[in-house]
A and B are shown apart, each in its own frame.
Chain A
Amino acid sequence: MTAEPSNFVYHAWLSSASLPPKVISVLLEEYETPENIWHDFTSLQNSLEKISPSGLKTLKQNISKEWLDKTELLLRHHKISAFTITDQAYPDSLLHLQDPPAILFYQGDLQCIAKKNLAIVGSRAASYDGQKAAERIACDLSHNGIGVISGMAGGIDTASHTGCLNGGSQTIAVTGCGLDTVYPSMNTKLRDRILENGGLLLSEYAPGEKPVGWHFPFRNRIITGLARALIIIEAKIRSGTMTSVQHALDQGKDIFVYPGDPISPYFEGNHQLLREGAIYFTTANDIMEDLGWLDNPGIIGQNSGCSGRSFPLSPEEAAVFSALKPGKLNFEHIAEKSRLSPALLMSTLTMLQIKGLIEALPGKQYQLIETDI
C-alpha cells in the first residue's frame, strides 16, 4: 500500500496478456515481483514454455516505454494500486481458492477485507421485490458492522451495495473489468459513494481491460472467496448467480437463500436451491444467528427511512390498510376488497403513501411498508 505507485505499472504489464493466474503465480514465485520479471524478460522469454504464444506476443508488445507511460498515467489518475499473490497484503481467504488470482488491482481501503464480510448476489434484471429485499438485508447487516461484498453490476448488486452504504459499513465491489472503467456506467455515482465511505474496489483485471462476458462468472470466485458466506437474493435457474453458488460450494462456504415469491419466475432458482438444501433465511438476524455472530450488539431489523404510524387512520384508510394486510395487491383488487369508489380509493392511496404506510409498485400494485420486526 505504501509502495511507490509507479511499481504497479509492472503489475499491469504482467496481467495485460490475460495469462492464466496459475502461470503468473509460478513466475512470481520464481522472480518475486512483476518488476523483476520485466527486467529479465528478454533473457528469460525463451525458457518460458508455459506462456502461450499469444500471451508472449502481447507481453512483448506492451514492454515498450509508450505503453508503460500510458498505463502509469491511468494508474495514477484513478489512484489504482495492486498487490500480488506473493505479497503480505494478499488475503489468506483467496489463497485457498482453486484458481487464486495472481495479481489484484484495487482502489480504496484494503483493510476492508479483514473485516466480517458476506457476499450478496442476484440477478442484474431483478424484480422490485428482490431489490428491496437485498437493500433491506444489506442495510441490516451493515448496521451490525458486517460488510457486504458484491459485483457492482445492476439490479441486486447495486441494491446490496446501496443497502450496505445506508447501514454505515464499508462495502467491497469486485468488478469484471479494469478499475478505470465503471460497468455499467450508470453505477459511477455508486462507485464514488463506495470509495467515499471507505470501501474497496477490487479487480484482477489491469486498467484498460474492457468488461468482457467471461470475466464476470470468473470474478465471482473472488466475491465468494472473500466472504464468510454467500447470500442469494434472486436467481433464475440458469444464471450467473448460479456460478457463484458453484464457487461457494467448491470453497465450502455457507449458502443462504432468500425465499422469494414462490410463484414469481424471478425466484425460480432460489426455490431450487432451497430444495437442494441451501439455508433458508428471511432477515439479517437469521443469518447472523446461523453464523454465530449474534453476540454483536447492534440495531437489528431497522430499515432506514421508514416512519412510524404517527397519524390516525380514517375509515377509508383503515379499509385499504386491512385489504393490503395479506400482501401486495393491484388497484382493481383493492377496490373490490375495500368497496371504495375509484376516485375515493385513489385519494386514500395517496394519503396512505404520504403517511409512509404503503408504497406503490410497478404494475399498479401497492403494498404495506414493513414497519417492525
Chain B
Amino acid sequence: MEEIMARTLSFGVNGVNGYPVHVEVFGINGIPGMEIIGLPGASVRESRDRVNAAIINSGKQMPPRRITINLAPADMKKEGPSFDLPIAVGILIANREIIPDPALVTDRIALFGELSLDGHVQPIKGTLPMVISAKENGIRDVILPVDNAKEVACIEGLNVMPVSHLSEVIAFFEGSETIEKQQQISFDSLKNDIHVTTDMAQIKGQKGARRAIEVAAAGGHNMLMIGVPGSGKTMLARCLPGILPPLSFDEALETTRIHSISGKLPSNSGLMVMRPFCAPHHNASVASLIGGGQDASPGEVSLAHNGVLFLDELPEFSRGALEALRQPLEDGFVSVARVKKQAMYQSSFMLIAAMNPCPCGFYGSTRKVCRCTPQEIRRYLDRISGPLLDRIDLQIEVDSVPVQEINTSAPAECSAQVALRVNAARMIQLDRYRGTGKHCNAQLSNSEVKQYCTPNPQAMRLMNAAVETMHLSMRAYQRILKTARTIADLDHADTIGSSHIAEAIQYRELDQKYWR
C-alpha cells in the first residue's frame, strides 16, 4: 500500500474575521490511528472520534492507516468542531472511499460542519464571518449545516449548499446527487418579520419618560434613568429596539458576525434586522462585559454593537466594569488582548442605564420613606464616576405610576408610530453628517457640537440664563446642545430654538438634584 493524500478547504475565525484553513490528510502504513496537528484546540482534537464514528455510520470504511491531519496555517490556534466535515471528507477522498466527480475541484469547495456520531451535520458558530471570508477568497461553493444556511442567505454571489447528513456530502462529491441550493433571501424581506416584543403601547402613563426615550432613540444618545423600584425603568429600556430604526445591511452584517462567533444566533435564523438588546446582570465581570477569556471572545458591549446595552442597577456594577466601559463608549470598539489571542471587536452601542436614587431605593418617593443617611446616598451615587456620567447625554427621573392609573388610563401610542418620528429624525442626521463618518447627534465631538449645534440668538440667551440660574457645568452645556439638536431634528427645525434648548435642559435635571 502506498501513502495516500488529500486536501479540503475550510475556514476558521480570528476575532470577527474568517481565514482559510487548508485541511491536509496524509495516510501512511503503520499502526492505525489519527493525529491532528496545526494547533488544534480540545474540541478540534476530539474531532478524531466523531469523524471515525460518522464515517462508519455513513456506510464507509476508515482506512487502516496511520493518518496525519494538518490544519494549515499551522501557527493559528483552531477552535471549535466546524472542521469535522472537511476532515471526514478529506479522509474519505484520501482513502478513495470517495472517487470525486472529475468536474469538481475538491479543494475549492468550502466545508463547514460539526458531525454527530451517526453522521448528522450539526450547526456551528461563526458561519457568517467564515462564509464572508470564503467569498473574499474567491470561493463560490460552500457546504454548511442546514441550520446555518439562513444566516448567510443574504450574501450575494455564492452557491450555498445546506446539508444535514454526511452521506449527502459523500453523494455530492461522488457526483451521484446534487445538493439543493439555498435560496437567496433579500435583506429587505427579512425586515417584514420584525416583531416588537415590548411595545410602547404597554407603557401606562410615564409621559415624560416616553418622550425622553424617543429623544434618546432619535439621536442615539446614552441615557440614565433614576427611579424608585418598580417605576418601569426596565420596561422603558426594553422598548428601545422597537423604536430604533432597523439595522442597515452593513450594520446587520457587523452585528450578526459578532453574534455568530459567540454562538448567540438562534439556529435557523437569518441576518439580524432588529437592533440587539443586551442586559447583563450587575455581577458581570469586566471580561464578560468587554470581552476576554482564553480565546478573547466578544463581551456584552460587542454583542450590543449597533444596538442597546442596558445596565440595570448601575451602581451595583463593579467599579472596574464601569470604568472599562469608557473606551468602547468613546471609540466604538474594544481591543481584547489575551496571551494566545488578540482581537478587536466593534462596540458602538447606546448605553441605557437604570438605577435607584439611593441604596434603599425610595429617596424622593412620595409613597415610602427613604431609610438612607445622606452619606449613604452620596457614597451610592459616587460609585458612578464623573467620566462615565460625562458620556451620558440624557439623565431622567422616572416616577412610579399609581395602580389606579395603570388600570384606567387610555392605551398609549404604539412603538411603530414613535419609530416613524425617530426614523425621520435619523434621516435628517444622516443627510447632515454625510461624508463625516458620523451618523447621529450623539457621536458629535465637542468641536462638531460648535459647528452643527448652534442655537439661534434667542435660544442662546436662554441657554446662558439657564447656566447662571441652574448652575450648569460646561460638561452639561455641551450635552444640552447635542440633545437640543436632536429635539430640533424631531421637530424638523433647521436651527435650534428656545423650546428645544429648554426641553433639553430638563434632561439634565439630575445634574442639579443629585450630582451637584
Which residues on A are within 8 Å of B, measured CB to CB?
Answer: 124-125, 128, 154-155, 184, 186, 236, 264-266, 330-332, 335, 342-351, 353-354, 356, 360-365
Contacts and interface: CB of A to CB of B under 8 A. Distances in A.
A53 B210 CA distance: 69
Interface residues of B, number: 45
B373 interface: yes
Given A184-B375, A356-B469, A347 B499 contact: yes
A331 B416 CA distance: 25
B361 to A, nearest CB: 12
A236 B371 CA distance: 12
Contacts of B370: 125
23 contacts: A124-B373, A124-B374, A125-B371, A186-B378, A265-B368, A332-B205, A332-B207, A332-B401, A343-B211, A343-B503, A346-B208, A350-B466, A350-B501, A350-B505, A354-B462, A354-B470, A360-B509, A362-B363, A362-B397, A363-B357, A363-B397, A363-B399, A364-B399
B56 interface: no
A354 B502 CA distance: 9
B374 A125 contact: yes
Given A332-B208, A343-B211, A350-B503, A363 B366 contact: yes
A106 B487 CA distance: 57
B365 interface: yes
Contacts of B375: 154, 184, 186
Contacts of A364: 208, 397-399
Interface string B477-516: 0000000000100000000001111110111010011100
B372 A335 contact: no
A347 B399 contact: no
Q: Which 4 A-B pairs have the closest CB atoms?
A: A362-B364, A347-B502, A363-B364, A342-B211
A167 B30 CA distance: 101
Given A184-B375, A332-B206, A362-B513, A350 B399 contact: no
Contacts of B364: 128, 361-363, 365
B465 interface: yes
B369 interface: yes
Contacts of A351: 462, 502
A258 B254 CA distance: 63
- Identify which of A155, A342, A344, A348 gathers the most chain B CB atoms within 10 Å of its CB: A342
A186 B374 contact: yes
A335 B375 CA distance: 34
A213 B441 CA distance: 53
Nearest to A331: B208
Contacts of B513: 360-362
A332 B470 contact: no
Given A125-B371, A343-B487, A356-B469, A332 B399 contact: yes
Nearest to B469: A354
A313 B83 CA distance: 74
B493 to A, nearest CB: 12
Interface in B351-394: 357, 363-366, 368-375, 378
Interface string B199-237: 000000111101100000000000000001000000000
A155 B505 CA distance: 28
B207 A342 contact: yes
Contacts of A331: 207-208, 399
Contacts of B210: 342
A361 B364 CA distance: 8
B3 to A, nearest CB: 78
Contacts of B371: 125
A124 B372 CA distance: 10
Contacts of A345: 207-208
Contacts of B398: 364
A363 B365 contact: yes
Contacts of B205: 332
